[in-house]
Amino acid sequence: MSALAKELPVAGLTPFTTIDYPGHLSAVIFSQGCPLRCPYCHNKQLLAFDRSSKLMPWRQVMEFFVTRQGWLEAAVFSGGEPTAHATLAEAMSKIKKLGFLIGLHSSGVYPENFAAVLPLVDWVGLDIKAPFDEKYDLLTRMKNSAAKVRQSLDSLLAARKPYQLRLTFDPKFHHTNDVTEINGLLNQLGADSVVIQTLREPVMNNL
Ligand code: SF4
C-alpha cells in the first residue's frame, strides 16, 4: 500500500463556514469519492475514487487545523462520501486530539463504516434522499441503497448523537408527498423530521 493510500483522500477544504455544523464555526474537509450518482449533485468533481486527481496531503490538512486552534470549533468531514474510506477514523481521531468537535456529512450507504466512526463523531448530518422504497435506488443509482441508509439511521438513533436528517428537494424527482411519507416513517421511529435543503455550490480551496 502506498503512503498516499494510507491517508484520507482529501480533495479540498472549506476554511470557514457557519452553516455546515449547526451552531459552531467550522471548516469542512471534502474527501474524494462517492458511489452514488444523485442527479442534482453539485460535487461531481468529487465522485470518482481517483487517487491520481489532485489531492491535498493530510499533513497540510493537519497544519491548517493547528493554525485554527482557538478560532474554529469544529471539523466537518464531507465529500464525496467520507465513510467510503477505511482511513476516516484515524483522520477524525487526529483532528479530535487537537480539540475540535467532529461533524460528519454522510449518505449512510456504508452502514458498517458509518457505525464504526460514530463514537468519534459529535454531530451527524445524514442525507435522506427519498422514500425508503425503489425510489431511493432510482435516485442514487445504487442497488439496495434504501436498506443501507435505514441501517445507518438505526445506528445513529441508537448512538443518541446530535443529528440533522436532510433532504435535498429536487422538483424534477421529488413530490411533496414524498416528504410526508418520509417524515411519517421518521416520526414512527422517534426521529426528527427531515430538514429540506436547497442546492448550493461548495466553496472549496486547495489551500
Ligand atoms: S451523495 Fe452527495 S456527493 Fe454523492 S452523488 Fe449524491 S449529492 Fe453527490
The answer, yes or no, to whether any atom of ligand 1 lies below 6 A from the CB of 113, is no
Domain ranges of the chain: 4-197
Closest atom of ligand 1 relative to the 40 alpha carbon: 7
**Tens digits of residue pLDDT in 147-206:** 999 999 999 999 999 999 999 999 999 999 999 999 999 999 999 999 998 766 555 555
CA distances from 193 to 69, 76, 130, 133, 202 (A): 34, 22, 13, 18, 25
Cα of 79 vs centre of ligand 1, distance in Å, is 8
State the pLDDT at residue 1: 46
Cα of 70 vs centre of ligand 1, distance in Å, is 32
**Tens digits of residue pLDDT in 11-42:** 999 999 999 999 999 999 999 999 999 999 98
Question: What CATH superfamily classification does 4-197 receive?
Answer: Aldolase class I (3.20.20.70)
Cα of 58 vs centre of ligand 1, distance in Å, is 22
Cα of 161 vs centre of ligand 1, distance in Å, is 23
**Tens digits of residue pLDDT in 45-95:** 899 998 777 899 999 999 999 999 999 999 999 999 999 999 999 999 999
The answer, yes or no, to whether any atom of ligand 1 lies below 6 A from the CB of 38, is yes
